């Protein structure tokens, strides 16, 4: 019965709050920005949503608050924590996009101005985004205060900890992605200035804003995630979501580095095989540098995490999973290159002529082979060194689940 009641309270609270907030934002924009010139029907609808949504939200939210103040079990309920984290995310995400476009409007950037309703000036755009920032910011702060107060009484545990990690790591990943994209574009712009590229659709101010917003977002939430790991004990260290975040980022970065390294090598082989050049160095090289930095940092984080774990088997497990993950990417590329080159060789023997198509395929597959070989060989040598160690460490390395999955997958 309590679960059904919570579902009803927080579902109605969510729908009424979001409807009321966005209707209020639209209403204030229409009243304060004269160039919008809305019709009467739109204004009437927005007023109606606010007048209906506000009392509905207050009635259900205050009901939930009374229950939470009366019963500690209610504060700890997963549905209540889910509502709070989802509401925080629902306000913070549009707050970030409006902040990004506010900076773009201040700097009069076309990318931000083009997202404004037709006919609005840059000055109108500043007010347009400020209205949303104020309302979303106030409501985010209010719900954050509620959540922080309840966490002091009953800290997040089990399912609630998972909700918190989804919130923290989700925004951390968004910030990391924006930061990486900005860095890649800025490197390309630098290469353009140095004469390595003749065309580039990058505006410096856009990327500086993206870097500012993305780096700030990543720093705040990743610092929070690190604090949770350092203070959370075994539960935080064993978190599957945290591991997925770290290893997923490493995997994505490794694939990106290998793929773009293969692209550069393919260009070299095209010249060797007297093929016309394709692409531009300003495309793959910034990606290699950007993703390489992401890879290196998160590899350092994994090593640091392992160093903070006192149990030797768990330390070795983190290290082992990282090495097999990198070796997996490298071996996939290596085998793809070998199979592709063998296919080219067989077709050459069958056709008897080394035409343009075969030379192009030889350049691509040889580049993939060479890009993947060191990425596979270096971690594989370290893996083999672990398995050859005497005693318990070597035995655990040989019998580990990740080794069996790796070996049987390729067999």
Determine, yes or no, domain membership for 53: no
* Token pair for 28: 């204030």
Determine, yes or no, domain membership for 387: yes
Determine, yes or no, domain membership for 297: yes
Alpha helices in 71-158 (DSSP H): 72-76, 78-106, 110-113, 122-153
Domain that holds residue 390: 248-410
* Token pair for 305: 């995490």
Closest-CA residue to 328 (of 265, 379, 395, 290)? 379
Determine, yes or no, domain membership for 199: no
Determine, yes or no, domain membership for 33: no
Determine, yes or no, domain membership for 235: no
State the total domains in the chain. 1
pTM score, whole prediction: 0.88
Q: Would you report the helix, strand and coil content of the chain in percent, each value rounded to 5?
A: 85, 0, 15
Burial class of residue 173, CB neighbours in 10 A (0-12, 13-18, 19+): middle
Residue 43: in which H helix or E strand, if any? helix 40-70
Determine, yes or no, domain membership for 394: yes
User: Are the C-beta atoms of residues 392 and 316 closer than 8 Å to each other?
Assistant: no
Each residue's pLDDT tens digit in the chain (411 positions)? 688 889 999 999 999 999 999 999 999 999 998 888 788 888 999 999 999 999 999 999 999 999 988 888 888 888 999 999 999 999 999 999 999 999 988 888 777 777 788 778 888 889 999 999 999 999 999 999 999 998 888 777 767 888 999 999 999 999 999 999 999 999 988 888 776 554 555 578 888 999 999 999 999 999 999 988 888 666 777 788 888 999 999 999 999 999 999 999 998 888 888 888 777 787 899 999 999 999 999 999 988 887 776 655 666 777 888 999 999 999 999 999 999 999 999 988 878 777 888 888 999 999 999 999 999 999 999 988 888 888 777 788 788 888 899 888 987
Determine, yes or no, domain membership for 288: yes
The 10 Å Cβ neighbour count of residue 69 is 10
């Amino acid at each position: 019965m309590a679960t059904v009641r919570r579902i009803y309270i927080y579902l109605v609270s969510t729908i009424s709050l979001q409807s009321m907030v966005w209707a209020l934002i639209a209403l204030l924009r229409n009243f304060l920005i004269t160039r919008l010139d809305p019709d009467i029907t739109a204004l009437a609808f927005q007023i109606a949503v606010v007048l209906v949504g506000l009392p509905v939200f207050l009635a259900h939210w205050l009901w939930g608050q009374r229950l939470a103040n009366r019963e500690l079990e209610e504060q700890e309920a997963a549905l209540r924590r889910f509502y709070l984290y989802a509401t925080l995310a629902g306000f913070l995400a549009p707050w970030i996009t409006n902040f990004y476009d506010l900076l773009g409007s201040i700097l009069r950037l076309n990318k931000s101005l083009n997202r404004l309703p037709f006919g609005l000036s840059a000055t109108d755009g500043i007010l347009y985004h400020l209205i949303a920032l104020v309302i979303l910011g106030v409501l985010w702060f209010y719900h954050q205060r509620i959540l922080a107060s309840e966490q002091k009484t009953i800290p997040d545990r089990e399912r609630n900890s998972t909700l918190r990690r989804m919130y923290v790591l989700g925004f951390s990943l968004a910030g990391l992605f924006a930061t990486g994209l900005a860095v890649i574009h800025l490197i390309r712009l630098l290469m353009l200035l140095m004469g390595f590229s003749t065309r580039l659709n990058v505006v410096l101010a856009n990327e500086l804003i993206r870097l500012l917003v993305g780096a700030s977002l990543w720093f705040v939430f990743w610092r929070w995630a690190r604090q949770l790991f350092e203070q959370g004990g075994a539960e935080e260290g064993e978190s599957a979501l945290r591991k997925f975040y770290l290893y997923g980022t490493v995997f994505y970065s490794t694939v990106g580095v290998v793929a773009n390294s293969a692209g550069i090598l393919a260009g070299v082989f095209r010249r060797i095989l007297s093929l016309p050049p394709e692409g531009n160095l300003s495309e793959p090289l910034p990606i290699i540098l950007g993703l390489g930095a992401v890879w290196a940092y998160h590899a350092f984080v994994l090593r640091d995490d392992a160093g903070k774990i006192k149990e030797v088997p768990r330390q070795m497990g983190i290290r082992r999973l990282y090495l097999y993950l990198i070796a997996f990417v490298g071996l996939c590329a290596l085998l793809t290159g070998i199979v592709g080159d063998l296919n080219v060789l067989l077709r050459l023997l069958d056709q008897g002529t080394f035409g343009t198509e075969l030379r192009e395929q030889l350049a691509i597959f040889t580049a993939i082979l060479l890009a993947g070989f060191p990425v596979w060989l270096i971690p594989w040598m370290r893996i083999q060194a672990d398995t050859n160690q005497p005693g318990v460490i070597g035995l655990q390395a040989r019998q580990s689940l990740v080794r069996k999955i790796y070996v049987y997958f390729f067999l």
